[in-house]
A and B are shown apart, each in its own frame.
Chain A
Amino acid sequence: MTNHWIDIKNADAVLIMGSNAAEHHPISFKWVLKAKDNGATVIHVDPKFSRTSARSDIHVPLRSGTDIAFLGGMIKYILDNGKYFREYVAEYTNAAHIVNRDFDFKDGLFSGFDAKGRRYDTKSWTFEMDGAGIPKRDKTLKDPRCVFQLMKKHYSRYTLENVSAVTGVSRENLLKVYEAYGATGVPDKAGTMMYALGWTQHTVGVQNIRAAAIIQLLLGNIGIPGGGINALRGEPNVQGSTDHALLYHILPGYHGVPLADWPTLADYNKANTPVTKDPASANWWQNRPKYVTSLLKGWYGEKAAKENDFCYGLLPKAEKGVDYSYMFLFDRMYQGKIRGGFIFGLNPMNSLANTVKSRASMDRLDWVVVSDLHHTETTDHWRRPDIIPADNKTEYFFLPSAHRIEKEGTVSNSGRWLIWHHKAIEPAGEARTFGYMVVGMMKALREKYRKEGGALPEALLFQDWPETFVAEDWTKRINGFFLADTTFGGKAYKKGQLVPTFGALAADGSTSSLNWLYTNSFTEEDGNKSKRRDPKQTPMQEKIGLYPNWAWAWPVNRRIIYNRASVDPAGKSWNPQKALISWQDGKWVGDVPDGPWPPMASSGGKNPFIMQPQGFGQIFGPGRLDGPFPEHYEPVETPLTAHPFSRQLSSPVYKSVSSDLDPLAKPGDPAYPIVLTTYSLTEHWCGGGETRNVPALLEAEPGLYVEMSHELAKEKGIKNGDEVIVENVRGKVKAVAMVTVRIRPFTVQGKTVHLVGMPFCFGWSTPKSRGAANRLTPSVADPNTTIFELKACQVNLRKSDKTGGTA
């Protein structure tokens, strides 16, 4: 989230799209309803009418996978009707930037497309520079090559006719939403966007969010109270686990993973540290070398020295362009290239796409260490219903994990608040924390390497590991230490003392930090700030529900990021009634500003989007692999064979794997005419491995269902409560028919298209709950994130004829 949960109440319009917030983040509705009480319009755009829709002012059903068409139509509406916030757009976004003459867009493809490699060469997706190396700008926004004009041209095709024909949303409904949300493009109004997996789980997932970001920038809704792009995020500490990079492509703190092409730390820093020639740009990532060296010092301690490149050479180097995410991992597992590994607190046999394949893949492991609270489809994979255990040759280690209430430590919520949880009771039986397991395994392994040697033992033995896992010691390691006596901010610190802020981190090895974003969370001055419970606020903060003394938020306790965009160039709030920061008597008051510099118009002022090299909000987004402007492409499996925006049916660069277990239905396949979308529900969490073992929750939602319209049910001769088989090219699943008015047939390009929905949280390890909806979903993914397209694929369904094999 750019903003935070309480801040939703400050919105004048709330657009919930790609999310079912009332069901999946129920407490968010405390704040959505507060906004509504204050007069906000709450809009839900989603294929089905859910508990969220029930409490919204407007619900608009749209065919799954057509969000960019819908949002592109909104961009056109905002531009055509002059609804944008002109000064904000001209001053704070790259709308005025002049784009490289070689940049082009024709019939669904951007310039630089390599059809054979299915990738783009992005060198024309750049800006023209002036003599000083600063991007050329036309603040009148009239130059035909400026971003604003190119955007206008790009979205000129997104007419109400075209958008309505593709999305299945009526023109009246489109206008209703565009008008209500477009009304926030004035200085004293704010609109917030709440999204989740409904936007990310598409082959155009990143571009869905890019389209939203463009709208928010046009309306001046970023950096202000009641605004923002708010990823509600799915899981209990997914913000923290992302920050700490349990991911192949980054290191903790959002540094790209080292590649084979960068043999030294200097090479790495050169390739990953952006430069700007504009004195008005803070270009925050210029500090990256300080953060990376501090991370290496955190990992390798005393062993990391300038002389040995701070042990950078010991880190694994990935190959450029090779993807090591789930989809490719399970594909390589299927090919027999993976020997063993760890699956902690995750149920991929239920929650990943195409479980038919992921299950066949897992069978090919030699050994696996699983850790969970309960037996799940993953931990007990070797005894799933359709196999004989004797045939499964994998060695399984099950490490029983402690529940959150049984351990202490911090989690980061979606609003980036770092919150300490105390241990209330001892873990059940011999269950232990993940920290205990990791430290225990590393101790045993390091002992073996010490005694026996082996492959590159230094990579393990040089690391700094404690004897036992004590959570708060790691909270300190994450914050970081001074490793030499240092004076910072006029104050003397001793070697071994905590670093007060990331401004103190250094590239010379004199500091450590396991994650620069969290530096300032645990200080000599204020202790462990995640434990703070002080509701104290200034009247200015109270007005907008800001609690600077409750817990702590990254970075440096900033509660709303990009907050320099909430003030005009002179430092005055665009909306003084809901001021976030304000320049008063030579200093900032309110939230912690995005950097200490004075307002933009004063000498030494900086552009507000400090994480971008040039400091501007990116309406033109050159950093993505599939284009600088979002463009509508159909899901890979689609009921259509053509659409009116271009001849490029699906994303030209989506990622996929191929095997005998990865078949795809052809576009418009008459055998599979029904759109399937998958989701979860309030009473279960993700793959359901945990919540199905909680009696009160299983009682409320005991088993798999498929929601469908009365019209489709009638067509198929299905009654509410009947058992049906949902099937496609990959698999089939049995589910109970839930025939409902909450799903309606769509009219798409003049024809009726049916959509059905299924939760993915049920699985065989819970008797009677039926099987995994993910037997049906495809191994195709977004090119930027490799997130699976779980929200749209094609199926057919029929009344059950007792066919087996649907666990």
Chain B
Amino acid sequence: MQFNRREFMKGAGAGVAGLALSQLGLDLEPVKAYAGSLKIDGAKDIVTVCPFCSVSCNIIASVKDGRLVSTEGDPDYPINQGALCAKGASMLSMTRSNHRVAHPLYRAPGSAQWEEKSWEWMFERISRRVKETRDKDFIPKNAKGQTVNRLESMFFIGTSHADNEECAAIVQMSRGLGLVHIDHQART
């Protein structure tokens, strides 16, 4: 969803009129010199949701040429009304963090380093390990002879970071594999 600048400015505090540069009176010099252009000028505004606590504050991401230039609270959203806390306010530097992992990584048993791999390689190798484990340890019947079709030696834990759609896919996969060891942050 996109917003125009006028809507964005609705976040202005009481009594602030939407002044244009030309309306400014005397002492224009410093304004011209030190309030020239804004980094969000010409940016596209996109609504996202803060990724931390479950108040789920809405955030407007300003994007220019595919690059995030600024984030601020969404003034229209009735819960946070433009406000954010320290975590919510840090979205820009969060996405620019140089600690982000940008490639699939593989670490062989006993190795002292990560190696970059392609997604295809990862899916191929992971599915091989999953299949080996599942085929070996699958329990069709329990000690009482009841059909149980479960796999106890494999687990899936996580995550409340996933969207609802992703959660639905994760649980479908987990139960399809026969997993019973399933858990995530809801239990902490």
Residue A30 CB within 8 A of the other chain: yes
Binary interface profile of B, 5-17, with partner A (CB < 8 Å = 1, else 0)?
0000000000000
Interface centre among B68, B93, B124, B157 (most CB of A within 10 A): B157
Contact call A236/B53, Cβ cutoff below 8 A: yes
Q: Which residues of A contact B32 (CB under 8 A)?
A: none
Contact call B76/A345, Cβ cutoff below 8 A: no
**CB proximity to B under 8 Å, residues A298-357:** 299, 313-319, 324-326, 329, 332, 337-346, 348, 351-352
Q: Which residues of A contact B48 (CB under 8 A)?
A: 404-405, 421-424
Residue B172 CB within 8 A of the other chain: yes
User: Contacting B153 at CB < 8 Å: which of A246, A314, A337, A696?
Assistant: A337
**Interface size, B (range):** 35 or more
Residue of A nearest to B116 (CB): A430
**Roughly how many angstroms separate A240 CA and B154 CA in the complex, as a whole number?**
24
Contact call B157/A428, Cβ cutoff below 8 A: no
Given that A341-B155, A400-B101, A474-B165 are contacting pairs, would A463 and B149 also be in contact in the complex, using a CB cutoff of 8 Å?
no
Binary interface profile of B, 112-136, with partner A (CB < 8 Å = 1, else 0)?
1010000100111111111101110
Residues of B at the A interface (CB closer than 8 Å) are 1, 46-59, 61, 63, 66-68, 71, 76-81, 83-91, 93-95, 97, 99-112, 114, 119, 122-131, 133-135, 137-138, 140, 142, 144, 146-188
Smallest Cβ distance from A406 to chain B, in angstroms? 8
**Roughly how many angstroms separate A471 CA and B114 CA in the complex, as a whole number?**
31
Contact call B183/A329, Cβ cutoff below 8 A: yes
Q: Which residues of B contact A435 (CB under 8 A)?
A: 163, 165-166, 169
Contact call B55/A398, Cβ cutoff below 8 A: no
Residue A570 CB within 8 A of the other chain: no
Contact call B162/A344, Cβ cutoff below 8 A: yes
Contact call B184/A241, Cβ cutoff below 8 A: yes
**Interface size, A (range):** 35 or more
Residue of A nearest to B99 (CB): A693
**Roughly how many angstroms separate A240 CA and B87 CA in the complex, as a whole number?**
21
Contact call A27/B57, Cβ cutoff below 8 A: yes
Smallest Cβ distance from B162 to chain A, in angstroms? 5
Smallest Cβ distance from A376 to chain B, in angstroms? 10
User: Contacting B164 at CB < 8 Å: which of A240, A414, A424?
Assistant: A240
**Roughly how many angstroms separate A329 CA and B54 CA in the complex, as a whole number?**
27
Binary interface profile of A, 402-439, with partner B (CB < 8 Å = 1, else 0)?
01111101111110011101111110111111110011
User: Contacting A25 at CB < 8 Å: which of B53, B110, B146?
Assistant: B53
**Roughly how many angstroms separate A129 CA and B158 CA in the complex, as a whole number?**
44
**Roughly how many angstroms separate A398 CA and B113 CA in the complex, as a whole number?**
12
Given that A25-B55, A341-B154, A474-B169 are contacting pairs, would A247 and B184 also be in contact in the complex, using a CB cutoff of 8 Å?
yes
Smallest Cβ distance from A481 to chain B, in angstroms? 14
Smallest Cβ distance from B102 to chain A, in angstroms? 2
Q: Which residues of B contact A348 (CB under 8 A)?
A: 157
Residue of B nearest to A452 (CB): B131
Smallest Cβ distance from B164 to chain A, in angstroms? 4
**Roughly how many angstroms separate A443 CA and B67 CA in the complex, as a whole number?**
32
Q: Which residues of B contact A418 (CB under 8 A)?
A: 164
Binary interface profile of A, 679-712, with partner B (CB < 8 Å = 1, else 0)?
0001111100011011111001000000000000
User: Contacting B50 at CB < 8 Å: which of A236, A371, A478?
Assistant: A236
Q: Which residues of A contact B84 (CB under 8 A)?
A: 27
Contact call A318/B170, Cβ cutoff below 8 A: no
Contact call B164/A337, Cβ cutoff below 8 A: no
Number of A-B contacts (CB under 8 A): 476
Smallest Cβ distance from A681 to chain B, in angstroms? 10
Residue A94 CB within 8 A of the other chain: no
Residue A460 CB within 8 A of the other chain: yes
Residue of A nearest to B156 (CB): A342
**Roughly how many angstroms separate A248 CA and B125 CA in the complex, as a whole number?**
26
Q: 9 A-B pairs, CB-CB below 8 angstroms?
A: A27-B83, A237-B163, A260-B147, A329-B155, A343-B157, A411-B49, A412-B164, A414-B55, A438-B166
**Roughly how many angstroms separate A412 CA and B175 CA in the complex, as a whole number?**
22
**Roughly how many angstroms separate A790 CA and B187 CA in the complex, as a whole number?**
12
Contact call B107/A398, Cβ cutoff below 8 A: yes
Contact call B160/A235, Cβ cutoff below 8 A: yes
Contact call A374/B97, Cβ cutoff below 8 A: yes
Contact call A263/B147, Cβ cutoff below 8 A: yes
**Roughly how many angstroms separate A228 CA and B46 CA in the complex, as a whole number?**
34
Smallest Cβ distance from A131 to chain B, in angstroms? 38
**Roughly how many angstroms separate A383 CA and B113 CA in the complex, as a whole number?**
9
Smallest Cβ distance from B133 to chain A, in angstroms? 5
Given that A425-B63, A478-B168 are contacting pairs, would A316 and B175 also be in contact in the complex, using a CB cutoff of 8 Å?
yes
**Roughly how many angstroms separate A24 CA and B53 CA in the complex, as a whole number?**
7
Residue A604 CB within 8 A of the other chain: no
**Roughly how many angstroms separate A197 CA and B142 CA in the complex, as a whole number?**
36
Given that A340-B133, A455-B135 are contacting pairs, would A241 and B185 also be in contact in the complex, using a CB cutoff of 8 Å?
yes
Smallest Cβ distance from A550 to chain B, in angstroms? 6
Smallest Cβ distance from B143 to chain A, in angstroms? 9
Q: Which residues of B contact A682 (CB under 8 A)?
A: 85-87
Smallest Cβ distance from A316 to chain B, in angstroms? 4
Contact call B53/A246, Cβ cutoff below 8 A: no
